[in-house]
Amino acid sequence: MTFILFYQILSIMNSNNIILGTREFTRNMGKWLNKSSNDKVNIVVTRPKGEDVIVLPMSEYSSLEETAYLLKTPANADHLLRGMETVRNMENEGIIVTDVDAIWK
């Protein structure tokens, strides 16, 4: 159940991150916020006297929140995982899935 959320978090953390110090981030905050939003990149701001923070586009954050919500109940998580496995198996057989509803027929 938590695997998908963990995978999604890892993919965000391992994607195109930009790592900046506090001084550089605050000096050019507008530039870096635009970069994050426009280019869909995450910005890790390192802090010498505190925990590092990450700036990510709202769409990425919303996606994480939605994933966590969908995986909250074990039954729903199981249903989603089985659906993903079905699609993966179909793709491995060379079937292109364009109509998700057709999978369950």
Q: How far apart are CA 14 and CA 12, in angstroms?
A: 5
Higher pLDDT, 105 or 45: 45
Query: Is residue 14's pLDDT more than 50?
Result: yes
pLDDT, one tens digit per residue, over 3-12 is 455 555 555 5
Mean pLDDT of 101-105: 59
Q: How far apart are CA 48 and CA 30, in angstroms?
A: 22
- pTM value is 0.61
